Every structure is written in C-alpha cells, then in structure tokens.
C-alpha cells in the first residue's frame, strides 16, 4: 500500500483525527463547550479549501447540529435526535477522509 505524503493527505489525516476526537469528546464535554465550534471552523476551512472533497449538505447539516446543541435551542428527546444526526455526520466525515487518503 502506497501512501503519498502531500499537503492534502496530511491535512485530511488531521481532519480525520480531529473528527474522531470530537466524536468521542462530544459525549463527554458539557453542552456549552466551545470546542465543537472550533472543530466546525476547521471543518468549514477544509471544506472551502479543498473543493469537492466533502458534500455541502453533510457539512452544513453538521454545522447546524453543532449550533443547535451549543446554544441549546432544543431539549429532551429532540436533543438526542440532533446528537444522533451529528454522529452520522461524524461517521460520514471519517469515511470520506479515509476514502480521500486511500485514493479510492
């Protein structure tokens, strides 16, 4: 297996690791933590820098879920639905970054 070390692959690997850490920390950090917003700023910077690397709808859905959870517009069972949707977005980003790194 050949892994070319390029700027794109290094940044994509960084985003992959940041997504895994954020998916873990999302369930351990308090809801009013600002770290998810920092992650989404990194995600948006990556999305805008490398065109066609991530799907627009997935990224925007993740940002919307992150903002809804951060500013606590919903509570109770709706918050669990939003967290589940955000977890699906994390899975998409991990899968897509892995595919981009492996050049499939």
Query: Domain coordinates of the chain in residue numbers?
Result: 7-102
Q: What whole-number distance in Å separates Cα of residue 71 and Cα of residue 57? A: 21
Give residue 41's Cα distance to chain centre: 10
Distances (CA, A) of 1 to 20, 100, 103: 23, 14, 11
Q: 0.75 exceeded by the pTM?
A: yes
Q: pLDDT of the chain along its 104 residues, tens only? A: 677 889 999 999 999 999 999 999 988 988 778 999 999 999 999 999 999 999 999 999 999 999 998 888 777 889 889 999 999 999 999 999 999 999 88
Maximum Cα–Cα distance across the chain? 47
Residues 6 or more apart in contact with residue 21 via CB below 8 angstroms: none
Q: Of the candidates 1, 11, 16, which has an alpha carbon nearest to the alpha carbon of residue 97?
A: 16
């Amino acid at each position: 297996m050949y892994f070319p070390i390029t700027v794109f692959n290094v940044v994509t690997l960084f985003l992959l690791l940041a997504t895994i850490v954020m998916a873990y920390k999302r369930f351990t950090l308090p809801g009013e933590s600002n770290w998810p917003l920092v992650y989404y700023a990194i995600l948006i910077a990556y999305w805008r820098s490398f065109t066609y690397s991530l799907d627009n709808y997935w990224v925007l859905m993740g940002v919307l879920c992150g903002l809804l959870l951060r500013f606590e517009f919903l509570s109770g069972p709706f918050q669990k639905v939003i967290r589940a949707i955000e977890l699906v977005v994390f899975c998409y980003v991990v899968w897509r970054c892995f595919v981009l790194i492996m050049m499939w």
